[in-house]
DNA sequence: GAGTGGTCTAGACCACCAC
DNA sequence: TGGTGGTCTAGACCACTCA
């Protein structure tokens, strides 16, 4: 009697078959994760990658297509394929959905309020997959539009990934934080989840945003991930939506 | 002296070159728009479409790939390619991003409050590309979770597209409104824009949502489009976010 | 087993960019 | 002019569904 194949202890939910182009995709992600190509740089041409991996150009192309659709890579005809970055003009504030009621450009100014190292409380540690009490960096800042404060951000980062992060470093830097994180700490934010609620401004928040206590604010809690679905930033923004709104496109 | 080519009066922003697969895509969209294939039905196979349009299967495939990425079509291996619909279990509430703090499934109950024909005020007419005073249908309803009201929706529809829409018709129908709109009125919602704000509950809203007046609520204003970027629904939802949140994924 | 979508290949040619 | 990504084709074979 032939031996029965051993069934897996837990029924697998994953795909039973992995096409070649997905394996190639995994190899390219590994290169990105390992720092073989840095943010803003070009990766090798499709033909070169095809030769390296021993597959056809079309297979590499399909792998890159998916990575471009996920905004990990950017294709530029005639020039090459580049590692996506948050530092460029066009990609600035890629994750910020705040829009002014009038006009197009957010055009926001930044004001750093605080940056200190703390021990992570349990509710933050859990989301960042750390242990309660682990080292953590806490940043607080305001975003201004036309001179008026619109957003109050609290940002929490794992201390071990952002060792040299100081108030000085942050205030000297131009452009979005995520650009600094890429160049200085090698941390790429590639994906995020936001939980949005309406809350009432407490006294401290009201003072900072120059609104009355109890004013309804948009609470935007964002958990950002790097390669391998590893959470590396927790952020809570409080938005004054009297002159701005959060824009979302559905399809 | 050779004649100069005449420059366009307005510099064209559009693409100077339209590949074959985009033209095929346009033909398929025209078929969808014209009702050749209805919501939930299958479209002809790739091979059949390739013969009909006189191109290779690969070209049809690329056109369908884009339409599937935009959620206009759904591919099912071994079965065929189907016109996307809001009426199916898996696709139910495709545009609703509300999630409970505990658990996964929203599991919402519906309560129809009102449905009447009105003349469109200017601010609604403008967004629906109608004239102020044109016929309009106004619907008001509540969504409940575990017996408690969570969402108050006001929905405005162009009167000429929804001629037979009555309270009876709406209350008898099971499943999402968008499913009814597809089957009864041939209107497919394929895309939407949302503007999200935090607002304070007024007296009437507070009573309906069973919260205190002034409670912060999420205001979600949604403009939905059908084929050809034609706006066909304006909706304003007021969400009580004490036990639920609006979820958004960024990448 | 027939029909569907999904993968992979090889090759030709086009559009765009930089030198 | 050469290199890059972008399009299009033709054909082989694989995975999935259903009768």
User: Which residues have CB atoms below 7 Å from chain C, the nucleic strand?
Assistant: A 19-22, 55-59, 62, 76-79; B 15-17, 43, 45-48, 58, 61, 75-81
Given this model, what pLDDT does residue B17 score?
A: 85
In our burial notation (b when 16+ CB lie closer than 10 A, e otherwise), range A186-220 reads ebbbbbbbbbbbbbbbeeebbebbebeeebbbbbb
Interchain contact B114–A (C-beta under 8 A): no
* pLDDT of B208 above 90: yes
SS3 A206: helix
- Rounded CA gap, A230 and A242, in Å? 35
Query: Which residue is the nearest neighbor of C3, CA to C1'?
Result: B78
CB contact under 8 A, B70 and A191: no
What is the distance, to the nearest Å, from the Cα of residue B125 to the centroid of all Cα atoms in its chain?
18
Residue carrying the six token digits 């079965």: B79
What the block records as the tokens of B153 is 């929706």
* pLDDT of A2 above 90: no
Residue carrying the six token digits 């935009």: B70
For residue B77, which nucleotide's C1' is closest to its Cα? C5
Summarize pLDDT for B70-82 with one digit per residue, the tens: 999 999 999 999 9
- Rounded CA gap, A163 and B207, in Å? 51
Given this model, what pLDDT does residue B202 score?
A: 98
Please indicate, yes or no, whether residues B161 and B222 belong to a single structural domain of this protein: yes
- Rounded CA gap, B68 and B76, in Å? 11
Given this model, what pLDDT does residue A104 score?
A: 76
Please indicate, yes or no, whether residues B53 and B136 belong to a single structural domain of this protein: no
Q: How far is B200 from chain A (nearest CA, A)?
A: 6
Range of the domain at B53: 20-83
Residue–nucleotide distance: A81 CA to C5 C1' (Å):
29
Q: Is residue A186 part of a domain?
A: yes
CB contact under 8 A, A247 and B190: no
Residue–nucleotide distance: B102 CA to D15 C1' (Å):
38
Please state, in angstroms and as integers, the Cα–Cα distance from residue B140 to each residue in B109, B171, B236, following that order.
14, 12, 10
Q: Is residue A145 part of a domain?
A: yes
Q: Which residues face A221 on adjacent strands?
A: A195, A236
Query: Angle at the Cα of A237 (from A233 to A242), degrees rounded to 5?
Result: 160
What's A250's DSSP letter?
E
Q: Is residue A14 part of a domain?
A: no
- Rounded CA gap, A27 and B185, in Å? 49
Q: How far apart are the first and last CA of chain B?
A: 54
- Rounded CA gap, B81 and B78, in Å? 9
By the 8 A CB rule, do B154 and B113 touch?
no
Nearest CA in chain B to A195: B247
pLDDT band at A12 (very low <50, low <70, confident <90, very high): very low
What's B107's DSSP letter?
-
Chain B residues within 8 A of A218 when measuring between CB atoms = 196-198, 218
* pLDDT of B6 above 50: no
In the stretch 218-247 of chain B, residues with CB closer than 8 A to chain A read 218-219, 222, 239, 241, 245-247
Q: Is residue B4 part of a domain?
A: no
Percentage of residues of chain A with pLDDT beyond 90 = 86
By the 8 A CB rule, do A158 and B158 touch?
no
Of A200, A241, A249, the CB nearest to B193: A249
Residues 6+ apart with CB under 8 A from A61: A46
What's A238's DSSP letter?
E
* pLDDT of A106 above 70: no
Q: Is residue A251 part of a domain?
A: no
* pLDDT of B8 above 80: no
- Rounded CA gap, B111 and B128, in Å? 25
Which of residues A68, A83, A98 is at a domain's end? Answer: A83
Count the domains in chain A. 2
Summarize pLDDT for B157-196 with one digit per residue, the tens: 999 999 999 999 999 998 899 999 999 999 999 999 999 9
Given this model, what pLDDT does residue B9 score?
A: 39
By the 8 A CB rule, do B239 and B98 touch?
yes
Please indicate, yes or no, whether residues A60 and A94 belong to a single structural domain of this protein: no
Please indicate, yes or no, whether residues A109 and A203 belong to a single structural domain of this protein: yes
Q: How far is A29 from chain B (nearest CA, A)?
A: 16
Least confident residue range of A32-41, A64-73, B86-95, B229-238: B86-95
Q: How far is B109 from chain A (nearest CA, A)?
A: 21
Please indicate, yes or no, whether residues A142 and A124 belong to a single structural domain of this protein: yes
Chain A residues within 8 A of B100 when measuring between CB atoms = none
Please indicate, yes or no, whether residues B78 and B196 belong to a single structural domain of this protein: no
Kindly report the average pLDDT of chain A as a whole number.
Answer: 92
What the block records as the tokens of A230 is 């590893």
pLDDT band at A88 (very low <50, low <70, confident <90, very high): confident
CB contact under 8 A, B198 and A195: no
- CATH number, domain containing residue A35: 1.10.10.10
* pLDDT of A105 above 80: no
pLDDT band at A150 (very low <50, low <70, confident <90, very high): very high
Please indicate, yes or no, whether residues B153 and B113 belong to a single structural domain of this protein: yes
The average pLDDT across B194-220 equals 98
Given this model, what pLDDT does residue B90 score?
A: 65
Q: Closest Cα partner for B237 from B152, B176, B178, B157?
A: B152
What is the distance, to the nearest Å, from the Cα of residue B236 to the centroid of all Cα atoms in its chain?
13
Q: Is residue A215 part of a domain?
A: yes
Strands (DSSP E) found in chain B: 42-43, 73-76, 80-83, 98-100, 109-119, 135-145, 148-158, 191-200, 216-226, 230-239, 244-250
Summarize pLDDT for A159-187 with one digit per residue, the tens: 999 999 999 999 999 889 999 999 999 99
Summarize pLDDT for B83-136 with one digit per residue, the tens: 999 988 666 789 999 999 988 776 789 999 999 999 999 999 999 999 999 999
What the block records as the tokens of B84 is 């996307």
Please indicate, yes or no, whether residues B143 and B193 belong to a single structural domain of this protein: yes
The average pLDDT across A64-84 equals 98
Interchain contact A197–B (C-beta under 8 A): yes
- CATH number, domain containing residue A239: 3.40.1410.10
Q: Is residue A142 part of a domain?
A: yes
- Rounded CA gap, A175 and A110, in Å? 9
Please indicate, yes or no, whether residues B59 and B123 belong to a single structural domain of this protein: no
Q: What share of chain A is helix, strand, coil (3-state, %, to 5)?
A: 25, 35, 40
CB contact under 8 A, A218 and B218: yes
By the 8 A CB rule, do B95 and B224 touch?
yes
Query: Which residue is the nearest neighbor of C6, CA to C1'?
Result: B77
Summarize pLDDT for B34-66 with one digit per residue, the tens: 999 999 999 999 999 999 999 999 999 999 999
Q: Closest Cα partner for A217 from A196, A236, A238?
A: A238
CA torsion, points B61, B66, B71, B77, in degrees to nearest 10? 20
Given this model, what pLDDT does residue B174 score?
A: 86
């Amino acid at each position: 009697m032939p031996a029965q194949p051993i069934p897996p202890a837990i029924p697998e939910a994953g795909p039973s078959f992995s096409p070649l182009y997905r394996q190639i995709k995994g190899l390219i992600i590994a290169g990105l994760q390992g720092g073989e190509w840095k943010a803003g740089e070009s990766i090798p041409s499709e033909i070169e990658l095809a030769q390296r991996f021993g597959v056809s150009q079309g297979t590499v192309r399909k792998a890159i297509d998916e990575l471009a659709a996920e905004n990990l890579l950017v294709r530029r005809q005639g020039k090459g394929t580049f590692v996506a970055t948050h530092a460029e003009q066009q990609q600035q504030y890629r994750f910020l959905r705040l829009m002014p009621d009038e006009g197009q450009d957010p055009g926001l100014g930044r004001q750093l309020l605080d940056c200190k190292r703390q021990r992570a409380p349990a509710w933050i540690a859990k989301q960042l997959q750390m242990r309660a009490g682990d080292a953590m960096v806490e940043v607080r800042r305001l975003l201004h539009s036309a001179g008026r404060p619109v957003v109050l951000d609290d940002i929490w980062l794992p201390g071990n990934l952002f060792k040299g992060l100081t108030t000085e470093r942050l205030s000297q830097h131009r452009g979005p934080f995520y650009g600094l994180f890429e160049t200085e700490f090698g941390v790429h934010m590639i994906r995020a989840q936001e939980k949005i609620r309406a809350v009432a401004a407490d006294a401290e928040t009201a003072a900072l945003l120059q609104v009355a206590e109890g004013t309804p604010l948009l609470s935007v809690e964002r958990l950002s991930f790097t390669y391998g679905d590893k959470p590396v930033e927790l952020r809570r923004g409080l938005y004054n939506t009297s002159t701005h709104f959060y824009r979302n496109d559905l399809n």
